[in-house]
Chain A
Amino acid sequence: MNMAIDLVLTAFLGICLMLSASSRLVHCIRLVALQGILLGVLPLLMWNWSKACPGAEIWGAAFVNIMVKGVLLPILLIRAMRKAGVKRELEPLAGYSWSLLIVSVASALALWLSRSLTIPGVSVLAIPAAAVTVFTGLFIIVSRRKAITQSLGFLAFENGIALFGAAMHLEYGFFVELGILLDVLVLVFVMGIAVFQISREFEHIDADRLNLLTDTGEVK
């Protein structure tokens, strides 16, 4: 079981690298959805199966996590993407090779720093994987122009925080998680509508150009 957990955590690292280097939005959305599904599966993998079968709340949390983060949010984002008519993130503020390098340096740093943070009973990879996912999310938010990519970055960021909670066996962590999940769901709804509105008003969804808006509402 320990190896399976390590493999899932490594998959989180790999997804972060791929997320920072891919330009096609559909691809990015699928990667974030995969993160959500892995996140839902993780508590089941960490469960000590020899003792007892997991209770209903564990199954429920896993199911809700997979359905919301792996299915519902990606569908919403893909719909927003289709409506806004964007397929690729064209001119990111940091190029793809640079993003890849920055994220991999960050993951090396996270792995190195986490050597002094080992907690008994928790995989050594748990903290670095969570930290790298959080970092990648934040990095995508600041380095991409399109509003929809930024909301993807926010989702990855939230996945990182949830990964931290799930990997640490926090008590009542699942219930806190479900509360956060509701917030995230509402936020992505709002962002999806905002993306649609921006694209309808200005024929693009480049968030950094919103800074140029004047009082009259025209783009300079």
Chain B
Amino acid sequence: MMYWLLNLVLALLLAPVLFGVINKVKAFFAGRKGPRLMQTWYDIFKLLRKGSVYSTSSTWIFKFAPVGTLAALFIAMLFLPLGFCSSPLGFQGDALLFLYMLGLGRILTVLGALDTASSFEGMGAARELQFSVVSEGTMLLLLIFLAIQSSSCELNTMLCGRGNSFWMSAAPSMLLSAVALYVVLLTECCRVPVDDPETHLELTMIHEAMILDNSGPDLAFIHYGAGLKLWIFSAILTALVVPADLLSPWSALLVMTSGCFLTAVFVGITESMMARYRFLKVPQMLMGGFCVEFAALALLLISGGVK
């Protein structure tokens, strides 16, 4: 419990730093120095000191959306076994609640974007929802995969209670699952092959297009929420591939934190090596991730590795 709280505080503090790591890696590949590691924190503090501007045509939904999204992501994070320590809030079936909390965060962002009645934001919202159809399906398949492997529906057991030998007994399906989860991570966190967070052309944006009208503290909440989402998915990826039972609490903390930062480095390398896909090709990539996770599930059921 104490260790879990410590991990939670650490996650809340370090989540925006992940963007700093990604930007540093990209800057390294481009031969530049890049923004400072804590840049997202500086941006958030700067935005918090400013005031928000609301258009007269927008309603309370637009004001509520950023806070609501951040709250939904925070609640989702509370169910995760951060640092491989069991979350005290976990219960049987919390995996579904976790998935729907992520969905709630998404739908609030989308509603807030639609509420502005700006056509760019409408386009961004439509794309976000279109891509999420497949990526949420993949995430659900992954949760089913973990549930079968651990014979439990509680996120704590699903991620940390699978024993130490799952790499020995089900290596192929583990490998495929990790690939699929990485694709989901890139989609959900709006990283490069799906969306370019640095683009300044409204026509090609997805996530950035949805938050064009937000300003001040609202924008700070949105940036912070994006950091939390990236931390959530990197933590799941780390917990998926690392057998947890061997670790003492302190080494688990170290492994989880470095796993998240390593994921950020991988995202940075991916972004440096490839360009954003054109929109018609993105669903194809997402379908690929879905099929890979589907194959992983089928392999797990056939070749054993079920507890």
Complexed CA–CA distance, A7 and B170 (Å): 10
Chain A min CB distance to B23 (Å): 31
Contact B302 A104 (CB under 8 A): no
Contacts of B294 in A (CB 8 A): 104, 108
Of B173, B175, B287, B302, the contact of A128 (CB 8 Å cutoff): B302
Contact B291 A17 (CB under 8 A): yes
Of A6, A18, A100, A114, the contact of B172 (CB 8 Å cutoff): A6
> What does the 1/0 interface line of A8-44 toward B look like (CB < 8 Å)?
0110011001100100000000000000000000000
Chain B min CB distance to A57 (Å): 30
Complexed CA–CA distance, A128 and B298 (Å): 11
A3 at the interface (CB under 8 A from B): yes
Give chain A interface residues in 42-71, CB to chain B under 8 Å: none
Complexed CA–CA distance, A21 and B286 (Å): 12
Complexed CA–CA distance, A10 and B305 (Å): 15
- Given the interface contacts A14-B292, A17-B292, A124-B303, does A111 sit within 8 Å of B298 by beta carbon? yes
Of A3, A100, A103, A124, the contact of B302 (CB 8 Å cutoff): A124
A101 at the interface (CB under 8 A from B): yes
Chain B min CB distance to A125 (Å): 6
Contact B299 A10 (CB under 8 A): yes
Give chain B interface residues in 146-187, CB to chain A under 8 Å: 168, 171-173, 175-176
Contacts of B284 in A (CB 8 A): 21, 96-97, 100
Chain B min CB distance to A147 (Å): 24
Q: Max chain A CB contacts within 10 Å: which of B168, B283, B287, B291? A: B291
> What does the 1/0 interface line of B275-307 toward A look like (CB < 8 Å)?
000000001100110011011001101111000
Contacts of B283 in A (CB 8 A): 97
Complexed CA–CA distance, A10 and B294 (Å): 13
Complexed CA–CA distance, A96 and B134 (Å): 15
Contacts of B171 in A (CB 8 A): 3, 6-7
Q: Max chain A CB contacts within 10 Å: which of B172, B173, B175, B176? A: B172
Complexed CA–CA distance, A128 and B288 (Å): 19
Chain B min CB distance to A212 (Å): 30
Contacts of B287 in A (CB 8 A): 21, 97, 100-101
Complexed CA–CA distance, A18 and B287 (Å): 11
Q: Chain A residues in contact with chain B, CB under 8 A? A: 3, 6-7, 9-10, 13-14, 17-18, 21, 96-97, 100-101, 103-104, 107-108, 111-112, 114-115, 124-125, 128
Q: Which 9 A-B pairs have the closest CB atoms?
A: A10-B172, A104-B291, A111-B298, A111-B302, A108-B298, A97-B287, A124-B303, A3-B171, A6-B172
Knowing that A7-B171, A21-B284 are A-B contacts, what are 4 other residue pairs whose CB atoms are under 8 Å apart, sorted by A's residue number? A6-B172, A14-B176, A97-B283, A112-B298
A-B contacts, 25 of them at CB < 8 A, read A3-B171, A6-B172, A7-B171, A7-B172, A7-B175, A9-B172, A10-B175, A17-B288, A17-B295, A21-B284, A21-B287, A97-B287, A100-B288, A101-B291, A103-B291, A104-B294, A104-B295, A108-B294, A108-B298, A111-B299, A124-B304, A125-B172, A125-B302, A125-B303, A128-B302
